[in-house]
Structure 1
Amino acid sequence: MSQATAPMYADIVDLRRYPIHDLDSDTGRAFVARCRTELRNAGVCQLPGFVVPDAVDRMVAHAEVLSEKAFRTDNTHTVYFEPVDTEVPAGHPRAMPQRSAKRTIAYDQIPAETPIRRLYETDDLTRFIAAVLGKEELHRSADTLDAVMIAIFDEGDELGWHFDRSEFAVTVMYQDASGGGHFDYFPGLRNAEDPNYDTIERIIHGDTENMIRLPGAAGTLAIFHGRNALHRVSPTTGSQPRLNSVLTYGEKADMKLNDLTRGLFYGRNA
């Protein structure tokens, strides 16, 4: 790749392995096809080393500087991100609280020159994500807080078992915790016809049979179908925090969180 034709984010993405700038070529189409197959078969498409080591190091350094501004959340919810249902038995998934605790750095706190913002704000990445998901059109979030965030999991933090409300999630990993902080999931655990409460209850009580634990190597970009896959980030241990970003997309151009959700996730509405 010549310097004249290299994309502006060529210092961020390993374009030889992951040609998101050249999706219309035979190589690009084959790359997208592989990603689609992995997403369909495993419920997740993982691209290790998508973000090159130097850019990862820069993001870790930025996260350390920005961490003083991060907003801490420590909430309880059910696996459905709903309040505990007092009308069902205590052992029912709708009555069993889960804990989610972390610190978040909002989009408007992340400098424009950081690797993750420069990458997120490119049409090439948006087009690639849409292609893997089979979407005719996809848009970056219009939310000034939630478009891209950095999540910091300090010692003892976690994301309890849950189903996502959105169809898909896109994440970039920067740093593993000293211990714990594993991404665990059960793909396709429910569907519109079968909520599968019995299996969910067993998992919440510690049954890990058939659980998949994804490796969390720094620089990995992941596209995940989380609406019907029960998943978590296990509690972290040690002094080194788990660091990752969540990149938000939608099929509507003006997508934003409502004020209540902004307040819960970021402690403010603007």
Structure 2
Amino acid sequence: MQTKVAKENRSPADLIDLARYPILDLNGAVTRELTRHCRDQLDRTGACALPGFLTPAAVAMLVREGDSLAALAYHSVVTGTPYLEAPDPSWPNGHPRKFFEPTSVGVVAYDQFPGDSPMRQLFEWEPLMQFIAAALQKDRLHRYADPMGALNLAVMGDGERLHWHFDQTDFVTSIALRPSEAGGDFEYVPLIRNATDENYPRVQCLLEGSSAGVVRVAMHPGTLLLFEGRNSIHRVTPISGRTTRLVALLAYDTKPGTRSSKGLQMARYGRVA
């Protein structure tokens, strides 16, 4: 089945709506305006969504591929803080640094995608990485060197969720493929903290249930989302129903050779490279 899926589109370019997003012409006026829009949105809100980046036919094909790979996903359940680190004992009880919530998600790792996988070929396609670099206003990007973490398919089923957290990377690139029947909303608070102010009181209010400032990003299949989550706390609300939520996660960095720690690999994939 995976080989049949791959043959439906021989080039990653065929997956993208190039009429709407002419990413092959980075010097063209339309694409320069698009990348300026992306950077402006990121600076103002921490996120930039490009709906319809993939064609409907491409989405359907990648969903079929995702369903064919979903059984390989490693489903983990961990409990952590929004800061993704063990809290220092000196923090008082009730502090955001000591607020624990569960996260549960299934992940298909990069090394589980076959070589003829259209999702893998899209991730490894140089023009896509060059466009994302331009949208982020980075001179150059590099694909993760991690054999498991470079490309992931997040597979979330009934009851699974991601708790409120800040990312430890500068940006995340994702492609929405299929929403769940209910729940599974991506929510975030734009730029709730910065390099000089953790804004603990506002984070505390959020963790206690306040919805002030929370932005919900509707999940439309085919949307490319650029998200700078280091300073924008975010979560995925609990999934309900039989339909799994599918999101592709494409990992890039501004420096070459980026790999996950063995501890993170074990927690996320149940094994180490």
- Answer whether TM exceeds 0.5 for this pair: yes
Residue equivalent to 2:128? 125
Would you say 1:201 and 2:204 are equivalent positions? Answer: yes
CA shift for structure 1 position 121? 0.8
* Per-residue CA distance 1:188-235 (angstroms, 9 max, x = gap): 111122111111111011100111001110010000010000100011
| Partner SS, residue 130 of structure 1 | helix
Determine if contact 1:84/1:96 at 8 Å carries over to the other structure.
no
Residue equivalent to 2:160? 157
> Matched residue pairs, number?
264
Would you say 1:170 and 2:173 are equivalent positions? Answer: yes
Q: CA RMSD in A?
A: 1.3
Distance (Å, rounded) in 2 between the aligned partners of 1:150 and 1:196 = 32
Residue equivalent to 2:235? 232
Determine if contact 2:129/2:141 at 8 Å carries over to the other structure.
yes
Determine if contact 2:76/2:268 at 8 Å carries over to the other structure.
yes
Distance (Å, rounded) in 1 between the aligned partners of 2:261 and 2:85 = 16
In the alignment, structure 2 segments of 5+ residues that lack a partner are 1-9
* Per-residue CA distance 1:130-159 (angstroms, 9 max, x = gap): 111111111111111111100011111011
* Per-residue CA distance 1:101-123 (angstroms, 9 max, x = gap): 01000011112222221111111
Distance (Å, rounded) in 2 between the aligned partners of 1:239 and 1:84 = 36
CA shift for structure 1 position 97? 0.2
TM-score of the superposition, structure 1-length normalised?
0.94
Distance (Å, rounded) in 2 between the aligned partners of 1:119 and 1:18 = 15
Distance (Å, rounded) in 1 between the aligned partners of 2:33 and 2:12 = 22
Deviates more, 1:198-207 or 1:253-262: 253-262
Structure 1 residue identity aligned to 2:270: G
| Partner SS, residue 244 of structure 1 | strand
| Partner SS, residue 206 of structure 2 | helix
> In 2 relative to 1, CA 201–107 (structure 1 residues): closer, same or farther, beyond 3 Å?
same
- Superposed, 1:84-95 pairs within 5 Å as 84-95=87-98
**Identity fraction in percent:** 38
Distance (Å, rounded) in 2 between the aligned partners of 1:179 and 1:85 = 37
* Per-residue CA distance 1:145-197 (angstroms, 9 max, x = gap): 11110001111101100000001110000011110100000011111221111
Residue equivalent to 1:30? 33
| Partner SS, residue 11 of structure 1 | helix
Residue equivalent to 1:16? 19
Distance (Å, rounded) in 2 between the aligned partners of 1:74 and 1:84 = 19
Structure 2 residue identity aligned to 1:34: H
Determine if contact 1:84/1:97 at 8 Å carries over to the other structure.
no
TM-score of the superposition, structure 2-length normalised?
0.93
CA shift for structure 1 position 87? 3.1
